Structure 1
Amino acid sequence: MAVAVFDLDNTLLAGDSDCEWGSFLAAQGFVDPARQEAENRRYYQDYLDGTLDIQAFLAFQLRPLAEHDLSVLHALRARFVDERIRPIVLPAARALLQRHRAQGDVVVIVTATNRFITAPIAELLGAEHLLATEPEMVDGRYTGRPQGVPCFQG
């Protein structure tokens, strides 16, 4: 048995799930659209330049999780996956993942994007395992902070 490891964003998806989530939240009125776009652009450029401050980025990325009840977040996430993620799943990626599963390989997705966003995407893609940044939860609510070491450039 082999292990097949894949990045998620811009590899299995024709886009970035975190950017899509922020854009989706802005379109739904859950975050300020102008601020979301500006901050997202800045952090993405930092990422491309190799200068991303992962802790600052995660504070930005995880803030909306801390500001809303879990039931609201789950409903939003379900719509997000249907409306924004399904359309950008690459057909070649689906076929490749299916081929690995048919060969009995263990399929693993590794991503810096947080598990709240990526768990249903991994499920949609049929990946048995997901390594993702874990958002901290206390008393049934997200805190807006990561738990443990972020899944980023280890």
Structure 2
Amino acid sequence: MALALFDLDNTLLAGDSDYSWGRFLVSAGAVDGPRYEHANAQFYEAYKAGTLDIAEFLAFALEPLRRLPRPQLFAWRARFIEECVRPMIKPWVAPLLQSYRAQGATLALVTATNDFVTAPIAEILDIPHLVATVAEQRDGRFTGRPHGIPCFREGKVMRVRSWMADHGLTFTDSVFYSDSHNDLPLLEAVSRAIAVDPDPVLLATATERGWEVLRTDPPAQALLA
């Protein structure tokens, strides 16, 4: 296997890091609690329904990065990773990733969640490549805007193709693990699509097309490729 791609939220994690980061900011008193919590939940429901306006969501999600002091942001992020993300890592993930490393595959985490949140997650998972929505920075400050194409739906495929071109890779011998119908464009592009605890739309599509389906709650058996 030359290329192993992994979605993050609700795939490698038993939860959504983007949504959880918003909730963490509420609990830390960094944002207007009830109003922010309500908007965060609405965006998450729109994502699950396949109706998310990515530009509108990123304006919401990246605004705290622009407004809050940078040292405080990094301190909160460190707490968030330890308190919220580590407990969400599914128990089968480490051996699965190691199996691909043993095969000499190139591993990449491919996620719509912005790189401020996901860069340290890629590090703790020991996944060397991250293809994520980029939180724009200028003069050492976050602008509150995305840089380039958001890594979402068709944009995820575009971002992966650009990354592959930079690394001399193709989809010829590739696998992608995801839970979400929002990832159908990338699932359709790889040579081996694996639906992990899929949402109903992805499950129906995977069943129709004969894709592999993994159920990991309780932890699935025979996960290793």
TM-score range, shorter chain: over 0.9
Shift of 1:102: 2.0
Higher relative contact order, structure no. (Cα contacts within 8 Å, ≥ 6 residues apart): 1
Partner residue in 1 for 2:147: 147
Residue 56 of structure 1 is matched in structure 2 by: 56
Q: C-alpha separation between the residues in 1 aligned to 2:134 and 2:24? A: 21
Structure 1 residue aligned with 2:23:
23
- Indicate the residue corresponding to 2:125 in structure 1: 125
Question: Structure 2 CA distance, aligned partners of 1:73 and 1:102?
Answer: 36
Cα distance in 2 for partners of 1:102, 1:36 equals: 43
> Percent same amino acid among aligned pairs?
56
Q: Which residue of 2 aligns with 1:138?
A: 138
Whole-Å Cα distance in 2 between the matches of residues 95 and 33 of structure 1? 38
Aligned-partner Cα distance in 2 for 1:108–1:136 = 21
| Segments of 4+ moved more than 3 angstroms | none
Is 1:107 equivalent to 2:107 in the alignment?
yes
| Partner in structure 2 of residue 69 of structure 1 | 69
8 Å Cα contact 1:135/1:147 also seen in 2: yes
What SS does the corresponding residue of 1:24 show, helix, strand or coil?
A: helix
Match of 1:78 in 2: 78
Counterpart of 2:33 in structure 1 is: 33
TM-score (norm 1): 0.96
Partner Cα separation in structure 2 for residue 117 and residue 26 of structure 1: 15
Which amino acid is 1:116 matched to? Answer: F
Cα shift at 1:47: 1.3
CA distance in 2, matches of 1:22, 1:2: 35
Q: Which residue of 1 aligns with 2:201?
A: none
Query: How many Å separate the matches in 2 of 1:95 and 1:32?
Result: 40
Q: Which amino acid aligns with 1:52?
A: L
State the distance in 2 between where 1:143 and 1:40 align: 20
How does the TM-score come out when normalised to structure 2? 0.66
Are residue 12 (structure 1) and residue 12 (structure 2) matched? yes
Q: Which amino acid is the alignment partner of residue 19 of structure 2?
A: C
Q: Deviations over 1:99-141 (max 9, x none)?
A: 1112221111110000000000001101011110001111111
Q: CA deviation at 1:71?
A: 1.5
- Partner residue in 1 for 2:98: 98
Q: Is contact 1:81-1:121 (8 Å) kept?
A: yes
Aligned to 2:42: 42
Q: Can you give the 5+ residue segments of structure 2 that lack an aligned partner in the other structure?
A: 155-225
CA distance in 1, matches of 2:16, 2:150: 17
Shift of 1:36: 2.2
Q: Unmatched 5+ residue regions in structure 1?
A: none
What does residue 220 of structure 2 align with? Answer: none
DSSP 3-state at the match of 1:142: strand
Q: Which amino acid aligns with 2:118?
A: T
Distance 1:49 1:21 in 2: 20
- Residue 49 of structure 1 deviates from its aligned partner by 2.0
Mapped to 2, the partners of 1:70 and 1:102 lie a distance apart of: 38
CA contact (8 A) 1:69 1:141 kept: no
- Larger Rg: 1 or 2? 2
Distance 1:23 1:48 in 2: 17
